Each structure stands twice: as structure tokens, then as C-alpha cells.
Amino acid sequence: MTDISLSGPSAAGKTIPPGARAMRLPTQWLGVAPFIIFALMFLILPTLYLIIGAFQSADGGFTLQNIADLAQPTIVAAYWISIKVSVASSLLGAFIGLAIAIAIVRGGLPNWTRSAALTFSGVASQFAGVPLAFAFLATLGRLGLLTVLLRSIGFDLYQHGFNVLSFWGLTLTYLYFQIPLMVVIIVPAIDGLKKEWGEAAATLGATQWQYWRMVVIPVLWPSFLGTFILLFANAFGAIATAYALTGSSLNIVPIVLYAQIRGDVLHNANLGYAIAFGMIFITGLANVFYIWFRTRSERWLK
Amino acid sequence: MAEPFLSIQHVRKSFGATTVVQDFNLDVEPGEFVSFLGPSGCGKTTVLRMVAGFEEPSAGKIVVAGKDITRLKPNQRNVGMVFQAYALFPNLTVAQNIAFGLKVAGMSKPDADRRVAEMLDMIKLPQMADRYPYQLSGGQQQRIALARAIAPKPKLLLLDEPLSALDAKVRVSLREEIRSIQKKLGITTIFVTHDQEEALSISDRIAVMYGGRAEQVGTPFEIYNRPATKFVANFVGTLNVLEGKVTDASAGKVQVNAQEVSLKGKLNGSKSGDTLSLALRPEAISLARQPGHDTSLSGEIAEVHFLGSVIRVRVGIGGNTVSLDTFNNSTTPPPVVGDKADISFSSGDMLVLH
Amino acid sequence: MKSGKFWAWLTFVLGAAYFFIPLIATLEFSMRMKRGEYSFEAYRVVLGDARFQESFTFSVVAAIFTIILGVLLVVPTAYWIRLRLPQLRPIVEFVTLLPLVIPAIVIVFGYIRMYGSSSPLPFLASGLGTNALLVIGYATLALPYMYRAVDTGLRTIDVRTLTEAAQILGAGWTTIIGRVILPNVLIAVLSGAFLTFAIVIGEFTVASLLNRPAFGPYLQNMGANRAYEPAALAIIAFAITWGCMSLIQVLSRFAPKSANRPN
């Protein structure tokens, strides 16, 4: 600990303690100035730049043409497949993650299952991107272990319409980080359900299902919905996994945008901005919906 | 004696190799308020939870109104329960919490609303109907929890340390409220507590529990004044214990620090030369000789604590220390440490602890 | 109850199967480089590849700079918000969560257009500037995780009392933050740091669009051109992520338990 006899003279040297001068209001804000400047320069302004660009013509005037141009079939198809993959992987991820979380917290399983699942989920939720694509190619690609094994027992996945380079292939791959992310976030919420609530409900005559319907589901709902939105945004913005998995055979929005940034394949810089704006719009809309829903229905939350 | 309403018969509970409740027996009359009093781990909560149906007895049976409920599920027992940590449903308003049991039972909305209003009036919180639990104080939450438990008109009310999480002041006012509501409704109630003052103040009868069995069951008056075992005597109230040596068992004569004390009655099972423990409540002892006090012992003032209206004095008698309380008197200064002092009491107030 | 336990086991086992089969398959695939036998040939080739070593080193260095930038940015801010400007808390929290909503590709697209070589702030005009922008982009991506970790750490200590105690002993702000606050939230900061490392090390989008010779683009390139090496790389990447997360878990055991908190 600090030696008082040493720090005493140093304090005496400065006639006013440093804190006293910082009390006045304008200097207060200096403490957060670096963060605010950073956030403006490298998060908010670049985003605004694109949003504004989406509504500008090549000569800088206001226009809605870029947004209207999004309606061309390749771009619409890209948005559609992106939304499908994101919704499917976040919906499945959310429900499967919830089921696993309930199983390990409330299923009466031995303690090691809980810690094992949580540790693994922590890792898998961050295991995305290019290596994840490699893992699924090695598993479910044409020469993947599972594909080969299933073929050797007479079931050919690829003859039954499966392809890892497809909507379902991508969804299945995304689930590898979506499910664990749900588990990691929802387990604390399930831990927050007090045992006494269930007992109180039972003494009041409620069946297990009534208790779930009237208490458990409403209590978990905000965390569940919030995590679902997070999973959606997570999948919607992801590019590395899809790019490494499918190359450009599955044109999701981020891959279209990636190609546009690299080589202006759309031959219209402002249309690129419009695509970026569309992505922000969709993830933003999901969040606005979430906030609206939460404030409307969860008045009991502090 | 009337037919017991709740009968707990030879109930035993073990978790693995450890037995937490052994051969517990208790009959509770209709409308009676019985407390389970004991230190933590004495099995009192386990017995309550077996009555509620959360634990299944390893042996024995539980009968309510002539019906064996030992194997019934908690939600089929029609008991109301209040928990230490309130356990209100956070997502429901006060009114919805109270209506929970009614809704589950399929009561019509108007009937349920009427019952909820009645309950809110009973706990004197009618203006809180639309609040959420987090907006209420602990005392208010516990009153809502009580109303919720009572609303479906349960046969039995089980209170599991409902006051332990509350401030001292709220604790006293709420316990009085619980008792008055219980009396008004005539609902048979079991109240679990580790606080002897709580148990003494509101119970019809108390079961003092220790080591998984009932040490003594009796009215607060009996428990306090005629404790059946050393544990009960020590656990309930403050007790001065004096070590004595038996000089004449048949005449009930004992020596304390070389001063003779005559007890009422014989000392069965003891012989001359045995040591035994004698117990005295602080309020049975006075510093000066009082009318009716037939015994006195000489000692020396060891400690004096001025507590306002009361002065707590400790008097050393040989190796024993005796606590007693005297009322403050503005004209008499308190005793001084080191002074010689005589204490007096009635030998009839003296308990022999076995 | 009995059937509930059955379903819990079934869920757990199916989940475990889904998560372990790809790992086993990848491991098996990575060892098939030599025909007819299992070997670590793919690992040997990968680890001996100069481009692997260069890109991996580049990403490690980028990750370290990202962590330093993140700590410098987040610790004083989170501390100051707790101490003096609690009214700014919702705004700052909102900003730190934005990178979870705005896709990384959008953010880096913004950088490319705003900080191009002909802009007033031409980060992209030089290699050093581009590297700086890469680190800045990574710090932005890691912001939600870093901020949450540090803020959770600050919550367990009584920031105000510690600060006042230090002030009474005559400490200045740098001493307070550097010698009083930081050591107390060190575990939390390190957790944030390892998480940042795990996110940054194999990152593809930002590095690729800024044309940096990082590990992520290298991985992608290998995937497009080789068969067995990518599987070996996936196993290596998984091991790195696992290592980072395990370190966080180990560290959390040393975290200060909120001993001096009121209530």
C-alpha cells in the first residue's frame, strides 16, 4: 500500500489537490472526451457517411434513386437469402440454445455437464469465421467425414439434396456459434429464476405447465428476445464463414457488399452505400422492434 | 380435546445417510397457531416442507382433516405458503400475484377481482393493486405474499421464516398483523422461526426442535417457565446457570459456592456429592431482598450496563456469574463494580437442568 | 421428474454430438494428408510455411496493439462514468453496443471511404496508417466485450471510496488509475484482453478489405487452394480460441470478490 510518509510531501507540493479543480463541469467531460472522439470518428461518422451517401447522387444531390436501385433481382435475392439464413439460424439457435440451457440448469443432470457445456459454449460462441467453414467442409463437404460415413452405410446426403454450400448448409454452420451464444447469455437468466417461485406456484395449486406459462416464460422472454435479436444481427453481418464456405456461390448481402468494395462490381459507388444502409436499416429495425416490444410489455423490469 | 386438524405421525426424513427429522409427532387443532422453533439445521423447515409436499417423508404420515396427504403433490394439497424471500412473481402486479391461485383454480374474473380487493383491504394495501413487486418495500412484499397465500382459502397456512428478511421494526408490526389476520380467519397455521421472541409472542403452541426431533411442545408460558430439557431452557430466553453440589438429595439441599440453597421437592436420581446445574431467569432475581423471595446468595458486582430504562447487572458468585435486570430509578445511582451484593429469588423459580 | 431427466440427457447428448462431430471430423481430415496412414504432415507443412508465420505474427502484433488501445480507451472512460458522470452511462453503453448492431463490413466500408488517401485524414495513404486503421477497427469490434468486462470488474469494487481514499493519501489521477483502479480490475481487463485476442486473431473482413497481410486472409487463401492444410488450421484456430477462453476462466477464479461493497 501507499506509504503515507512518502506521499505526504508530494501532496503538500501541490497546493490544490488535482481533484478539486476537476470539479467544475466542463472539465468533467474531459474524462470521457477520448472515448467520445473515438466513437465519433471510427464508429458513428463512418456509418453516417455511408447512410448519407446512400441518399446522394454521384454529383452530391439528394436522391432516392440508390434505394430504388436496390430493387434489382440480384440484390433483392441477396437480401432475401441473408434474411432467411439469419432468421433460420437465430431462431433455431435461440430455441436449441434455450433447450440446452434448461437441460443443464434445470434438468437434474450432474454438475459437470453444466460447467462443461458453459466452458465449451464460451469457446464455440467465438469460434466463427474462416476456420469454422473449414471444419464444416471437413465434416459435411463432399469428402467430409460424416458424408463419407453416411455414404458407406448407404445414405448419400448429396443425392438427397443436401449441400454444405447452400442455405441449409450455411444455417447448420452458423448454428455452431449461434447456439453457444444463446447458452452463454440465457443461462444466467435461467439461474435468476428462483426456486421459491415454483414452490409458491405449486402451493397455490398451479401445475408445472401453468407455472411455466404464467411465470417462467414471461420472465425469460425479454432475455430470450434480446438474445434472439443479437443472434440475428450476428448472422446478418457475418461474412467470413460464408465466404470461406461457399466462395461466392451463395450470394448473401455481405458478400455482395464485399465484392462491391473490392471492385465496384455494381459500377455505382452510391449503390454500395445503399446496400450498406440496407444492412444497418435491417439490424437497426430489429433492435428498434426489440426495444419497443420490451418497453411495452415488460413494465415489471426495473 | 377436539379432533386434530393436522396430524403429523411418526414422520422421519433422511437425505442419504443423514437423518434430518426423526420420529416427529404433532397434532394441531383447527385454527391453532403452532410455531416450530429451533436453530438452523434442526429440521423445522424440513417438517414444514413435508407438510407442503416439497419433500417426501422417508417414513410416517401426514393427515389433514382426516385425509392422508403424505403422497399428494404440492399443488393438490390446498395449503398456502409464505417464504422467507417473499417469492412474489416479478412479472405480475400485486393484484395478479394475489389472483394467481384463484386464476389457476378457475375462478371467474369478477369473483377473483372481488377476492383480490378483499385481500388487499385485509392487508391494508388497497392502493398497491397495480404496482409491481420491485416497487414495494420488503414488508409490503411480504404482506402481499401473505394475501396471495390466503386468497384461495387454503386449509393450512405455512409460514417459512417469513419475517427473517425484514427490518426489526417491520418484523414486530408484521408479526402482530399476521397473528390478528390468522385469528380473524381462524386458519390453522404453522410458523417456522429461529427467533424465540417471535415464537413466544404469537403462538398458541410452540414445538422447540433440535437435532431433528421435537424437544418440547407446549404453550409459550410452559416452554418458557417449565422447559423440559436443558436445550429448551438454554434456547428460549436468557438463562443463568449455577453449578451446585448436592448435599442432601432427599431434602433437596444443594450448595452453591459454599452457600446452601433448598429446592422445592426431592432430587430424584441424584445423590449427595453430585454436581448439578441450576437455572434462573434474570427476571426472577432481584438485588435486594423482596417479599416472597426465600433464598439469597452473596456475591460481588462484576459488571454494570446502563441500558436506559433497565440496568443489567452481573453478579459473580464464586465461579458463577448471574445476570439480572433492575429498573432505572432517577434517585438511586446504579450499583458499582466491586461492591458486595446479595441476590435473592424464590427457590420455586429455580430449575434443575438434567 | 424421471422423464424430464431423460429429455435433459437427450438434449445434452444431441448437443454434444452436434458440437463434437465437426471437431472430430476436422481432426481426422487434417491427419489424412499422407495416403493410407494418419500423420501430422499437414500441421508440419502449415507450421513450416513462411506465410503462416508472417501472417500469424502480424495478427498477434495487431491483437496486442488492439488490446492496448482498447484498455486505454475503455478503462478511464468506464471509471470516469462510474465516478463522475453516471448520467452519461446509458449513452456510453448504447455506443459500446453499436458494433454488435452495425456489421463489421459496414464499418470498414465507412473507413475506406472516409479515410482514403485523398481525404483530410488519409489513414490509407501509408502502410503504417492502414495498420493503425486496422487496429482501430479491431478495437471498435472488440468494444462491446472490452467495455462489458471492465465495467463488470468496476462494479465489484467500490470505485468512489477507493478513489477518495487514494486522494486523501495524496495521489494524483494517473496514480489513482494506474496504481489503484487498474490493479483492482486487472482480472477483468485481462478477460477482455483475451476475448479481444480471440476475436482479432483470425479476423477476415476488416483485414482483407484493408489489404493487410493478416492471419484471416491467409486462412481464406489456404482454404481456396489447399485440401488438408485448412483442416489443420481450423484445429489450430480452435485451440487458440480454447486457450483464450480457458485463460479467462482461470483468471476469473482470481477476480476480487466484492468484499468491500456496501450492503
Do both A218 and A278 map to the same domain? yes
A contact chains, 3+ CB pairs < 8 A:
B, C
| Domain contains A62 | no
Tell me whether A217 touches chain B (CB under 8 Å). no
| Domain contains A257 | yes
Mean local confidence (pLDDT), C83-103 = 89
Tell me whether A197 touches chain B (CB under 8 Å). yes
pLDDT of res. B30:
93
| Domain contains B1 | no
Kindly identify which residue of chain A lies nearest to residue B85, measuring between CA atoms. Answer: A196
Q: Which residues contact C48 (CB under 8 A, 6 or more apart)?
A: none
Tell me whether C74 touches chain A (CB under 8 Å). yes
pLDDT of res. A250:
82
pLDDT of res. B47:
93
Cross-chain CB nearest to C73 (options A38, A233, A254): A38
| Domain contains B177 | yes
Find the domain containing B189 and state its range.
6-235
Kindly identify which residue of chain C lies nearest to residue A135, measuring between CA atoms. Answer: C26
| Domain contains C26 | no
Q: Enumerate the β-bridge partners of residue B24.
A: B11
User: Number of C-alpha atoms within 13 angstroms, CB side, residue A25?
Assistant: 0
Q: Enumerate the β-bridge partners of residue B12.
A: B59
Kindly identify which residue of chain B lies nearest to residue A194, measuring between CA atoms. Answer: B87
Q: Which residues contact B168 (CB under 8 A, 6 or more apart)?
A: none
Contact B77 A203 (CB under 8 A): yes
* Tens-level pLDDT at each residue, chain B (354 residues): 457 899 999 999 998 888 899 999 999 999 999 999 999 888 899 999 999 999 999 999 999 998 999 999 999 999 999 999 889 999 999 999 999 999 999 999 999 999 999 999 999 999 999 999 999 999 999 999 999 999 999 999 999 999 988 988 899 999 999 999 999 999 999 999 999 999 999 999 999 999 888 999 999 999 988 888 888 888 888 888 888 888 887 778 888 877 888 877 777 777 788 888 888 888 888 887 777 788 888 889 999 998 888 888 999 988 888 888 888 888 888 888 988 888 888 888 888 876
pLDDT of res. A245:
85
pLDDT of res. B199:
93
pLDDT class for A17, splitting at 50, 70, 90? Answer: very low
Report d(CA A88, CA C88) in Å as an integer.
37
Show residues of chain C in contact with A146, CB under 8 Å: 21, 25
| Probe site for chain C from A83, A95, A115, A134 (most C CB atoms < 10 A) | A134
Kindly identify which residue of chain A lies nearest to residue C147, measuring between CA atoms. Answer: A35
- pLDDT digits 0-9 by tens, C147-162: 988 988 888 888 888 8
Cross-chain CB nearest to A46 (options C77, C111, C238): C111
- The alpha-carbon gap from A196 to the nearest alpha carbon of chain B, in Å, equals 6
Do both A131 and A88 map to the same domain? yes
Q: Which of B341, B333, B336, B324 is nearest to B284 (CA)?
A: B324
Mean local confidence (pLDDT), C228-244 = 90
The pLDDT mean for chain C works out to 88
Contact B91 A197 (CB under 8 A): no
Cross-chain CB nearest to B74 (options A196, A202, A218): A202
Give the burial class of C183: count Cβ atoms within 10 A of its Cβ; 0-12 exposed, 13-18 middle, 19 or more buried.
exposed
**B160 and B48 in contact (C-beta within 8 Å)?**
yes
pLDDT class for C259, splitting at 50, 70, 90? Answer: very low
SS3 content of chain A, % helix, strand, coil (to 5): 75, 0, 25
pLDDT of res. A262:
87
Contact A201 B100 (CB under 8 A): yes
| Domain contains C257 | no
Tell me whether C207 touches chain A (CB under 8 Å). no
Show residues of chain C in contact with A143, CB under 8 Å: 29
Which cell goes with A239? 461474412
Do both B29 and B87 map to the same domain? yes
Q: Which of C257, C252, C108 is nearest to C187 (CA)?
A: C252
- The alpha-carbon gap from A87 to the nearest alpha carbon of chain B, in Å, equals 28
Q: Do chains C and B touch (3 or more CB pairs under 8 A)?
A: no
Kindly identify which residue of chain A lies nearest to residue B77, measuring between CA atoms. Answer: A203
Rama region for B60: left / alpha / beta (φ>0; ψ in -120 to 50; rest): left
pLDDT of res. A26:
66
pLDDT of res. C262:
39
| Domain contains C204 | yes
pLDDT of res. C166:
87
**C65 and C193 in contact (C-beta within 8 Å)?**
no
Mean local confidence (pLDDT), C193-204 = 90
Domain edge (last residue) among B204, B235, B266: B235
Kindly identify which residue of chain B lies nearest to residue A207, measuring between CA atoms. Answer: B75
Show residues of chain A in contact with B100, CB under 8 Å: 201, 204, 206, 214
Do both A77 and A183 map to the same domain? yes
Domain edge (last residue) among B220, B235, B250: B235
Pairing relationship of beta strands B295-306 and B340-345 according to DSSP bridges: antiparallel
- pLDDT digits 0-9 by tens, A190-207: 988 898 999 999 999 999
Do both B275 and B192 map to the same domain? no
pLDDT class for A1, splitting at 50, 70, 90? Answer: very low
Indicate which CATH number applies to the domain containing B129. 3.40.50.300
**Residues 10..69 of C with a Cβ closer than 8 Å to A: which?**
11-12, 15, 18-19, 21-26, 28-30
pLDDT of res. A25:
57
| Domain contains A61 | no
- pLDDT digits 0-9 by tens, A254-279: 999 998 998 877 778 888 999 999 99
Pairing relationship of beta strands B253-256 and B259-262 according to DSSP bridges: antiparallel
Kindly identify which residue of chain A lies nearest to residue B131, measuring between CA atoms. Answer: A300
Show residues of chain A in contact with C76, CB under 8 Å: 31, 34-35
Tell me A144's DSSP state.
-
| Domain contains A290 | yes
Q: Three-state SS for B93? A: coil
Q: Which of B205, B181, B273 is nearest to B29 (CA)?
A: B205
Find the domain containing C90 and state its range.
50-252
**How many domains would you assign to chain A?**
2
Tell me A213's DSSP state.
I
Cross-chain CB nearest to B134 (options A194, A210, A300): A300
Report d(CA B109, CA B83) in Å as an integer.
27
- pLDDT digits 0-9 by tens, A148-191: 899 888 888 888 888 888 888 899 999 999 999 999 999 988 98
- pLDDT digits 0-9 by tens, C29-55: 899 888 888 889 889 999 999 999 999
Contact A204 B89 (CB under 8 A): no
Complex ipTM tops 0.95? no
Q: Which residues contact B202 (CB under 8 A, 6 or more apart)?
A: B33, B35, B175, B176, B178, B179, B191
**How many domains would you assign to chain B?**
2
Indicate which CATH number applies to the domain containing A117. 1.10.3720.10
pLDDT of res. B331:
85
Residue C202: is its pLDDT beyond 90?
Answer: no
Report d(CA A298, CA A285) in Å as an integer.
19
| Domain contains C54 | yes
pLDDT of res. B286:
86
| Chains A–C, number of C-beta pairs less than 8 Å apart | 266
Indicate which CATH number applies to the domain containing C116. 1.10.3720.10
Mean local confidence (pLDDT), C124-138 = 93
Which cell goes with B314? 452481573
The pLDDT mean for chain A works out to 85
Contact A202 B134 (CB under 8 A): no
- The alpha-carbon gap from A11 to the nearest alpha carbon of chain C, in Å, equals 5
Helices C2-30 and A130-140 meet at what angle, rounded to 10? 100
Contact C216 A262 (CB under 8 A): no
Report d(CA A163, CA A142) in Å as an integer.
8
pLDDT of res. B268:
72
Element (H, E) at B61: strand B59-64
Find the domain containing A50 and state its range.
18-54
Show residues of chain C in contact with A261, CB under 8 Å: 105, 108-109, 112, 209
